[in-house]
Amino acid sequence: MKILLTGGSGFIGRHIHAALIESGHEVVLASRHNGINYNHMLKEEDWLKHLDNIDVVINSVGIITETHRQSFSVLHTQAPGALFRACVTAGVERVVQISALGADETAFTPYQLTKKAADDALRSMPLAWFVLRPSLVYGEGGKSLALFKRLAMLPRIPVIEQGTQLIQPVHIDDLVESVVTCLSTEKTCRTIDVVGPSAMSMAEWLQRLRRLAGKQPANLISMPLNSMLAFSNVARLCLPLMHPDNVRMLIKGNTADVQPLTEWLGRKPHDLP
């Protein structure tokens, strides 16, 4: 297949790209590194010239925080919407959208709401569409995993309140395999939550990362939520992942039923050792 992959220079996109090449597909990359600026791709006609002879489009573009050059509205909603409309016009029948867990009726942050807007637009189109909503994705090269590893290696691990917030981390290989499955399955027009095998608390996640590094469990430092939100307002300037909205999403929790993904993959997703 000839596949247009957006966001191919990002963490998720790089892994998808490698898997597609290994499987023998021809991949056309659409990213800033390949001369395509999403800020300038807001109309259907902006995309049409990039869709000649394309069989499948995979959109893996996503940002966790906004900057003066990158907005949620443009990157998550407007540009993907234009791309999806162009797919209908160009006759590209199959589209895979990498969304995010929480981009549903309960969404409350701009990150989630703009992802959901693109998902809803895609679902309304006459395409063989797939919306994959991954939880926290970990694996080689992931920025969030690097941050959590640094926290886990501290002599005492800081957590919000008691660190009981629930997450369900999923390995990048499971997300990539989910994408690859979309290329050939006849079960189209599906929304699938891509999550790890079981939920765990944030404290447990950090302790498990610590054990993987060969260290003994560490004591926790409890940080009140209000203090953490105040700290994150400053920390986000040098660590974008620390944005207050991300803290709020963590407090809400990030989990889903793993059974649909298990059926999609034909196996259980990988667990952290």
Query: Are the beta carbons of 118 and 42 closer than 8 angstroms?
Result: no
Query: Are the beta carbons of 154 and 223 closer than 8 angstroms?
Result: no
> What pLDDT digit, counting tens, does each position of 28-45 carry?
999 877 788 999 999 999
Query: Are the beta carbons of 124 and 85 closer than 8 angstroms?
Result: no
Cα separation, 192 vs 133, in Å, equals 6
> What pLDDT digit, counting tens, does each position of 181-190 carry?
999 999 999 9
pLDDT, tens digit only, all 273 positions of the chain: 999 999 998 999 999 999 999 999 999 999 877 788 999 999 999 999 999 999 999 999 999 888 888 999 999 999 999 999 999 999 999 999 999 999 999 999 999 999 999 999 999 999 999 999 999 999 988 888 898 999 999 999 999 999 999 999 999 999 999 999 999 999 999 999 999 999 999 999 999 999 999 999 999 999 998 988 888 888 887 777 788 888 889 888 899 999 999 999 999 999 987
Q: Candidates 3.40.640.10, 1.10.1200.10, 3.40.50.720, 1.10.1740.10; correct CATH number of 2-137+171-195+255-265?
A: 3.40.50.720
Question: What pTM did the predictor assign?
Answer: 0.94
Domain residue ranges in the chain? 2-137+171-195+255-265
Closest CA to 56 of 121, 103, 8, 4: 4
Contacts of residues 61-68 at CB distance under 8 Å and 24 or more positions apart, as own/partner, are 61/6, 61/7, 61/10, 61/13, 61/31, 62/7, 62/10, 62/12, 62/98, 62/100, 62/115, 64/111, 64/240, 64/241, 64/243, 64/246, 65/111, 65/236, 65/240, 65/241, 65/243, 65/245, 65/246, 66/110
Cα separation, 210 vs 216, in Å, equals 7
DSSP string, 176-188: HHHHHHHTT-S--
Residue 15: per-residue pLDDT: 97
Residue 31: per-residue pLDDT: 84
